[in-house]
Amino acid sequence: MDPWLSSIILGIVEGVTEFLPVSSTGHLILTGALLGHAGEKAASYDIIIQLGAILAVVVMYRERFAGLVVPRPRERFTGTRGLMLLFLTCLPAGLLGLFARKAIKAHLFAPLPVALALAAGAVMILIVESRRGGRDKYHDFDDVSPALALGIGLFQCLSLWPGFSRSASTILGAMILGSRRKLAAEYSFVAAVPIMLAATGYEFYKSWAEFSMADLQFLAVGFVTAFFSAWLAVKWFIGLVSRMTLRPFAVYRLLLALAVFVFWPS
């Protein structure tokens, strides 16, 4: 397929799926395999174009991020305290990802491991949604405590398994720990920014020599496409989780995993 069209398709897939509980990395691996976009350089490309989706969230939640830089006296998720909470959320997966990066790319960036992760995440969604009793302890950002932030960070380690979904792991972790679904989703978006910036920056630093000038142009196309598609997806998802559960995403994940197991060449 034409590389420019592939870049656009991959950018749309990244942006649409990054903040939904369906795994952007898993979808990029599956889409890339269909497009002939595979290998070490492709895996790096898939990680780096996430930056476009990240910046979409930064723009959408610019007031929240501005409060981390310029503290607001009447808010608790602000200034040094807000930064500390985000640090606690990012720390576990950041450390694990740093040491397991090569093993993950070597063994888990493939369709069948992704399908297993999609199925595992779907089961977790169904279990969490079935056990919710409606007695949430955390309703907005100012309710987030250090224990909750660290707990979400520990759940986020599941996202290092491509196909599980960083969004799913953090949203479900927050819900298990007592967060309202809408807060869980929005905190997941905000907490994604520092760890994904670190991951994409580190990946670009480690692999930039592999990319030609043409590759960098394709990265730019994927970046821009991911930005705009992520913007639309986040706005849609926040409206959705205010009205319904995450069960439809579990069904979608199971169907996609089944399709991979049945139709993908072994």
* Phi, psi torsion values for 170, nearest 5 degrees: -75, -40
Look-up: residue for tokens 């595992």?
A: 120
Cα distance between residue 118 and residue 69, in whole Å: 37
Cα distance between residue 185 and residue 16, in whole Å: 15
Fill in the DSSP letter of residue 179: B
Residue 179's DSSP bridge partners are 138
Residue 78, sorted as left (phi over 0), alpha (psi -120 to 50) or beta, turns out to be beta
pLDDT tens for 144-158 read 999 999 999 999 999
pLDDT tens for 194-238 read 888 887 887 777 777 777 777 778 888 888 999 999 999 999 999
Cα distance between residue 46 and residue 231, in whole Å: 18
C-beta of residue 226 within 8 angstroms of C-beta of residue 52: yes
Digitized pLDDT (tens) for each residue of the chain, 266 residues in all: 677 888 899 999 999 998 999 988 888 888 888 888 766 677 777 778 888 899 999 999 999 999 999 998 889 999 999 999 999 999 999 899 888 877 887 778 788 898 999 999 999 999 999 987 667 899 999 999 999 999 999 999 999 898 899 999 999 999 999 999 999 999 999 999 988 888 788 777 777 777 777 777 888 888 899 999 999 999 999 988 888 899 999 999 999 999 998 887 65
Fill in the DSSP letter of residue 209: G
